Amino acid sequence: MNPALAGIDAVIFDLDGVVTQTAKVHAAAWQEAFAPLPFDPVGDYRRYVDGKPREAGARDFLAARGVAASEEEVRAIAARKDALFRERIRQGVEVYESTLALIRALRGRGVRTAVVTASRNAEAVLRAAHAEDLFDARVDGNDAARLGLAGKPAPDTFVHAAQMLGVPPARAAVVEDALAGVAAGRAGGFAAVIGVDRAGQAEALCAHGATVVVHDLAELENPI
């Protein structure tokens, strides 16, 4: 039994950057949406927008650049980013096969699974990735808006997913690659918060609350 998942009844996965390789698609869409402002699709993406609702990410990045934007301007940038992202995913979505293998292994042993994302395009992404049947519950940006759930780094969406699965956070794990998502998992009192280091930020993931950091979920051999 892998110590990271010992005694766990449910595992809640982030979508972009954990299940699907769409983080780079989001980053490219943000870079184009923010033009002509310079936007680093690695550093700025991770620091300001990763894991957050679109409007919050746009607002945080603009504030960091000293741009005083109105709410109308923030919404316009967020809407442009969304349109650019949806256009890109029509060409297909790549997945992390090691993540899908872990999910299948967990489900084969009776562990419940959920996916949580700030994206409002989760249904389309999962469908394009042929992964919509791998989760017992899904909480996305549409659900958060409808239910009034605060976005990451608040724990609300993860806690709601655990409630949907009928498992208390103390018996569940969160898997995240975003700093805001790791912080949300820690704030929610989850038994384990597994940080997936896709961008050389292992120390930052630990500092934000990861109990375990891996470069790829294949490192969690014999998951339970």
**Catalytic residue among 9, 14, 156, 177, which?**
14
Task: Provide the token pair at 20.
Answer: 């699907």
Q: What's phi and psi for 112, nearest 5 deg?
A: -80, 150
Instruction: Note whether 57 and 120 are within 8 A (CB).
Output: no
Residue 133 annotated to the active site? no
Instruction: Note whether 12 and 116 are within 8 A (CB).
Output: yes
Q: How far apart are CA 199 and CA 40, in angstroms?
A: 13
Q: How far is CA 138 from the centre of its chain?
A: 12
Measured CA distances, 202 to 12, 49, 60, 98, 112 (Å): 20, 18, 23, 19, 27
Which DSSP letter does residue 137 get? E
Closest C-alpha to 182, from 218, 160, 161, 213: 213
**Catalytic residue among 9, 16, 44, 143, which?**
16
Q: Check residue 98 and give left, alpha or beta (phi > 0: left; psi -120 to 50: alpha).
A: alpha
Q: How far apart are CA 68 and CA 214, in angstroms?
A: 38
Residue 16 annotated to the active site? yes
Which DSSP letter does residue 138 get? E
Q: How far apart are CA 187 and CA 162, in angstroms?
A: 14
* Residues with catalytic function: 14, 16
